[in-house]
Amino acid sequence: MADPTFAVELGNVSMLLEKPITRDPKKLLPANKVLEIARSANDFAFNLFTHHFLCKVDPMQPENMQLLPVMISTIAYDWIAESENVSTDDYKAALF
């Protein structure tokens, strides 16, 4: 079993790497628009994952299960870029 302290530190480092470029706060998306986009993106990602990918994931292989959040997050970010025409950096900046 992996050391939980290491997992927390790895999570902290990844958060620092994901921090978006600081932008002018006046140009950020409004909070209600960010929530609307996030809900729609999550709905799309979970629906796509449930109907097309879940049957292909072997739950007996734990390393496969660890990739699920990354896969769902990637699907959601792709949907945001295509459907809402919002760049990943702009979306992340609004979230931060």
pLDDT value at residue 57:
74
Q: Say yes or no to pLDDT of 40 above 90.
A: yes
**In terms of pTM, does the model score above 0.75?**
no
pLDDT value at residue 88:
76
CB 85 within 8 A of CB 16: no
Residues 6+ apart with CB under 8 A from 75: 44, 45, 48, 49
CB 86 within 8 A of CB 80: yes
Q: Could you tell me the residue ranges of all domains in the chain?
A: 4-95
* Residue from 72, 68, 80 nearest 34 by CA: 80
| Average confidence score pLDDT of the chain | 77
Residues 6+ apart with CB under 8 A from 56: none
